Structure 1
Amino acid sequence: MSPELLGTRAFITGGGTGIGRASAVALAAQGCFVTVAGRTQRTLDETVTLVREVGGSAAAVLCDVTDEASVAAAVAMAAGEDGRLDFGVNSAGVSGGDDLQPLADYSQQQFDRMIDVDLRGTFLSMKHELRHMVAFGRGSIVTIASGAGIVGVPGFAGYVAAKHGQVGLTKTAALDYGAQGIRVNAIAAGLVDTPLVAEGRSPEVMAARIAAHPIGRIGRPDEIADAVVWLCSDRSSFVTGTAIPVDGGYAAR
Structure 2
Amino acid sequence: MTQQFAGKTALVTGGGTGIGRASALALASRGAVVTVAGRTETTLKETVRLIDAAGGTARYVIADVTDEAQVELAVEAAAEDGRLDLALNNAGYDGEYQLTTEYSTAMLNRMLDINVRGMLWSMKYELRKMIGQGSGAIVNMASGAGLVGVPGFTGYTATKAADIAMTRSSALEAAPHGIRINAVAPGLVETELIAALDPDHREALSSAHPLGRIARPEEIADAVVWLLSDNASFITGVALPVDGGYSVP
Q: TM-score range by the shorter chain?
A: over 0.9
1:236 equivalent in alignment to 2:235: no
Structure 1 residue aligned with 2:204? 208
1:53 Cα deviation from its structure 2 partner: 2.0
Structure 1 residue aligned with 2:153? 156
1:203 Cα deviation from its structure 2 partner: 3.6
Please, which moves more after superposition, 115-124 or 37-46?
115-124
Task: Give aligned-pair identity as a percent.
Answer: 54
1:170 equivalent in alignment to 2:167: yes
Alignment of 1:61-80 (within 5 A): 61-80=61-80
1:81 Cα deviation from its structure 2 partner: 3.6
How does the TM-score come out when normalised to structure 2? Answer: 0.96
Please, which moves more after superposition, 107-116 or 220-229?
107-116
2:242 counterpart (225, 235, 246): 246
Q: Which runs of 5+ in 2 are unaligned?
A: none
Distance 1:168 1:80, change over 3 A: same
Contact 1:151 1:251 in 2 (8 A): yes
2:181 counterpart (172, 179, 184): 184
CA distance in 1, matches of 2:169, 2:117: 15
Q: What do residues 95-133 of structure 1 show as CA deviations (whole Å, max 9, x unaligned)?
A: 232x231x2321211111111111111111111111110
CA distance in 1, matches of 2:79, 2:198: 42
1:194 Cα deviation from its structure 2 partner: 1.9
Structure 1 residue aligned with 2:91? 92
1:105 counterpart (91, 102, 105): 102
CA distance in 2, matches of 1:182, 1:46: 31
2:190 counterpart (178, 190, 193): 193
1:198 Cα deviation from its structure 2 partner: 4.4
Distance 1:217 1:94, change over 3 A: same
Distance 1:32 1:194, change over 3 A: same
The residue identity in structure 2 corresponding to 1:181 is G
Say what the alpha-carbon RMSD is for the aligned residues. Answer: 1.4
- Which secondary structure does the structure 1 equivalent of 2:240 belong to? strand
2:135 counterpart (135, 138, 162): 138
- Which secondary structure does the structure 2 equivalent of 1:252 belong to? coil
CA distance in 2, matches of 1:21, 1:194: 12
Distance 1:135 1:47, change over 3 A: same
1:216 Cα deviation from its structure 2 partner: 0.8
Distance 1:22 1:48, change over 3 A: same
1:239 Cα deviation from its structure 2 partner: 0.5
CA distance in 2, matches of 1:70, 1:87: 19
Please, which moves more after superposition, 86-95 or 24-33?
86-95
CA distance in 1, matches of 2:69, 2:2: 37
1:55 Cα deviation from its structure 2 partner: 1.2
CA distance in 1, matches of 2:220, 2:23: 8
CA distance in 2, matches of 1:25, 1:68: 26
Structure 2 residue aligned with 1:55? 55
Contact 1:133 1:182 in 2 (8 A): yes
CA distance in 1, matches of 2:131, 2:194: 35
The residue identity in structure 2 corresponding to 1:3 is Q
CA distance in 1, matches of 2:90, 2:120: 12
CA distance in 2, matches of 1:120, 1:77: 20
Distance 1:229 1:96, change over 3 A: same
The residue identity in structure 2 corresponding to 1:37 is A
Q: How many residues align?
A: 249
1:205 Cα deviation from its structure 2 partner: 3.0
The residue identity in structure 1 corresponding to 2:24 is A
CA distance in 1, matches of 2:44, 2:90: 13
The residue identity in structure 1 corresponding to 2:98 is L
